[in-house]
């Protein structure tokens, strides 16, 4: 009825006027429409939350580049008295809600936000520690990527990597704890890093935190990923885990 195709990629923007700045609801709505037009989104859905706050969703059939969205920052910052918080780009019916909650979480985590603030900039770990299980799940999903799959093999890879990081990258300690050999540890860590999609630094706090969340909670960060090959190779291992 609202003319919104729920299967698209959604992006929520919360626009507020600072007290005493003179911006009206009509000004906020016009700004919201301008933002959607500048980023090339479809006809936006705009909702007035109160006299000083407007919510806007725009959407695309394909995921846009983040640079396309941030290109409007300069224009937004030039509007005196306007405060803007943006959520993550999220897909599907749940994404419509998720993006708005992400934008609102940015406000709660950055009370001094002026001009422009994003969920990615200020709300990952802070929101995780101060909000609810839903935000915790988002954090784990975003950090773990494909490593957050729901299969038993994904869980085994996560636990191996968790112990590997907790023991200061000691293959021997992980092997002793899991009753496997050192080469199996190295192989599992290699596969886990491949699924993670990013290199492991010396003390990767975010990855360690996401792995702990997946281990101790009932949250399933990312489901539906194809299981990795569980066979232990006899080929050479990467130097990072030797």
**Mean pLDDT, the chain, integer:** 80
CA atoms within 13 A on the CB side of 152: 1
Instruction: Give tens-digit pLDDT for 13-36.
Output: 999 998 888 899 999 999 999 999
* DSSP state string for the chain: -----TTSEEEEEEEEE-TTS---HHHHHHHHHHHHHHTT-SSPEEEEEETTEEEEEEEESSPPPHHHHHTTHHHHHTSTTEEEEE---EEHHHHHHHHHHHHHHHHHH-TT--S-EEHHHHSSHHHHHHS-HHHHHHHHHHHHGGGG-SSHHHHHHHHHHHHHHHTTS-HHHHHHHHT--HHHHHHHHHHHHHHHTS---TT-HHHHHHHHHHHHSS--SS--PPPPP-PPP-S---GGG-
Instruction: Give tens-digit pLDDT for 109-132.
Output: 555 555 677 766 654 555 555 456
In contact, 8 and 91? CB cutoff 8 Å: yes
Instruction: Give tens-digit pLDDT for 46-75.
Output: 999 998 999 999 999 998 887 777 778 878
So what's the pLDDT on residue 63? 87
Look at the block and give the residue holding tokens 């725009």. 58
- pLDDT band for position 228 (cuts 50, 70, 90): very low
- pLDDT band for position 181 (cuts 50, 70, 90): very high
So what's the pLDDT on residue 61? 93
So what's the pLDDT on residue 114? 55
In whole angstroms, give the CA distance from residue 139 to residue 129. 11
- pLDDT band for position 139 (cuts 50, 70, 90): confident
In contact, 33 and 86? CB cutoff 8 Å: no
Mean pLDDT, residues 77-81 = 81
pLDDT higher at 90 or 138 = 90
Rounded to two decimals, what is the model's pTM?
A: 0.55
């Amino acid at each position: 009825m609202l003319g919104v195709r729920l299967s698209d990629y959604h992006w929520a923007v919360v626009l507020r006027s600072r007290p005493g700045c003179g911006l009206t609801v009509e000004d906020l709505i016009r700004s919201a429409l301008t933002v959607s037009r500048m980023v090339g989104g479809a006809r936006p859905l705009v909702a007035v939350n109160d006299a000083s706050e407007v919510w806007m969703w725009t959407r695309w059939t394909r995921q846009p580049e983040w640079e396309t969205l941030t290109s409007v920052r300069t224009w937004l910052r030039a509007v005196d008295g306007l405060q803007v918080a943006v959520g993550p780009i999220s897909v599907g019916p749940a994404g419509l809600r998720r993006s708005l909650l992400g934008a609102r979480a940015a406000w709660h985590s950055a009370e001094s936000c002026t001009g422009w603030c994003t969920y990615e900039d200020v709300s990952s770990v802070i929101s995780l520690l101060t909000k609810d299980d839903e935000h915790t799940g988002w954090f784990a999903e975003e950090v773990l990527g494909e490593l957050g799959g729901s299969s038993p093999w994904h869980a085994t890879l996560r636990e191996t990597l968790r112990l590997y990081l907790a023991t200061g990258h000691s293959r021997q300690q992980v092997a002793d704890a899991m009753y496997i050999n050192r080469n199996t540890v190295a192989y599992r860590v290699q596969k886990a890093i491949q699924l993670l999609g990013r290199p492991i630094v010396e003390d990767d706090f975010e990855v360690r935190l996401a792995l702990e969340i997946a281990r101790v909670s009932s949250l399933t960060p990312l489901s539906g990923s194809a299981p990795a090959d569980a066979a232990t190779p006899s080929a050479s291992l990467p130097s990072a885990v030797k």
